[in-house]
Amino acid sequence: MAAKPVLHYINERGRMEPIRWLLAAAGVEFDECFVKTKDDLTKLRKDGFLLFQQVPMVEIDGMKMVQTRAILNYIAGKYNLYGKDLKERALIDTYVEGLLDLNELIMDYDYLSADQKKQQLAPILDKATNRYFPVFEKVLKDHGRDFLVGDRFSRADVHLFETLLMAEEYKPDILASFPLLQSFKARISNIPTIKKFLQPGSQRKPAPKEEDLQRIMTIFH
Ligand SMILES: N[C@@H](CCC(=O)N[C@@H](CS)C(=O)NCC(=O)O)C(=O)O
């Protein structure tokens, strides 16, 4: 049996969370080795495990992979979540890049101070509601299938689902004017691997707590 992938990152969602989601969606079990202090990060660097001195790093299939997108691409390709041909892959990439842009806004928001958060939430929610979600509502309408691309579940569905859940944390009724996104969410949440990852006690991470922000910052800066 192949070794489980090992994920090296802080015990927070950040840049690793889409990787956790994709592995979970593919039904792949993984282990996590948390970077808890600056010394832990320094050790990984000294051991030569971080090509650009950064995490996320994922040990998988004998490789020590860095760069979030490269890791996601590998997992998606390996577990058939990357479309049936190059054109589907191009479409999936387009959707995923848009979603990762939005995801990054939310991730950066998670690490702001309480004061900064007050100012920054509205523009992020505005972008989600007026720029990104209408695109996916229209894709679902025009495509008329259960999934965003082709006839099967792909990484685009996983990233959209993850992003919808995150946006709802900050505005629970954010999908009110997107009926197809609501039904998409209900459908995807019933896929067994996704259902499992949604259960309490899974390796899914919540938003970082205010009291942990300072400690997290000292690891990276
Ligand atoms: N492009 C990289 C960016 C990785 C990155 O910025 N990682 C942060 C943690 S989330 C880090 O390791 N920061 C320390 C540093 O850049 O020295 C990726 O997507 O993996």
Tell me the ipTM for this assembly.
0.99
Is residue 117 in some structural domain? yes
Is residue 45 in some structural domain? yes
Ligand 1 centre and the CA of 148: distance in Å? 29
Residue 1 pLDDT > 90, yes or no? no
For the CA of 14, the nearest atom of ligand 1: 10
Ligand 1 centre and the CA of 82: distance in Å? 24
Shared domain for 121 and 101, answered yes or no, is yes
Residue 7, SS3 per DSSP: strand
Ligand 1 centre and the CA of 214: distance in Å? 17
Our answer on whether the CB atom of 15 is closer than 6 Å to any ligand 1 atom is yes
pLDDT score recorded for residue 37? 96
- CATH number of the domain enclosing 120: 1.20.1050.10
Is residue 1 in some structural domain? no
Number of independent structural domains in the chain: 2
- Range(s) of the domain holding residue 93: 86-190
Of all protein residues, whose CA lies closest to atom 6 belonging to ligand 1?
A: 54
Shared domain for 131 and 180, answered yes or no, is yes
pLDDT digits 0-9 by tens, 142-166: 999 999 999 999 999 999 999 999 9
Most informative mutation of 15, 53, 111, 216 for ligand 1 (most atoms within 8 A of CB): 15
pLDDT score recorded for residue 2? 81
Most informative mutation of 40, 54, 68 for ligand 1 (most atoms within 8 A of CB): 54
pLDDT score recorded for residue 57? 98
Mean pLDDT, to the nearest integer, of 59-69? 98
Instruction: Supply φ then ψ for residue 65, to 5 degrees.
Output: -90, 140
pLDDT score recorded for residue 101? 96
Structure tokens at 141: 């309408």
pLDDT digits 0-9 by tens, 168-217: 999 999 999 999 999 999 999 999 999 999 999 999 999 999 999 999 99
pLDDT score recorded for residue 15? 97
Ligand 1 centre and the CA of 35: distance in Å? 13
User: SS3 string of 15-83?
Assistant: HHHHHHHHHHHCCCCCEEEECCCHHHHHHHHHCCCCCCCCCCEEEECCEEEECHHHHHHHHHHHCCCCC
- CATH number of the domain enclosing 35: 3.40.30.10
- Average pLDDT over all residues of the chain: 96
Our answer on whether the CB atom of 55 is closer than 6 Å to any ligand 1 atom is yes
Of all protein residues, whose CA lies closest to atom 12 belonging to ligand 1?
A: 54
Shared domain for 51 and 137, answered yes or no, is no
Our answer on whether the CB atom of 56 is closer than 6 Å to any ligand 1 atom is yes
The answer to whether the CB of 52 falls within 8 A of the CB of 67 is yes
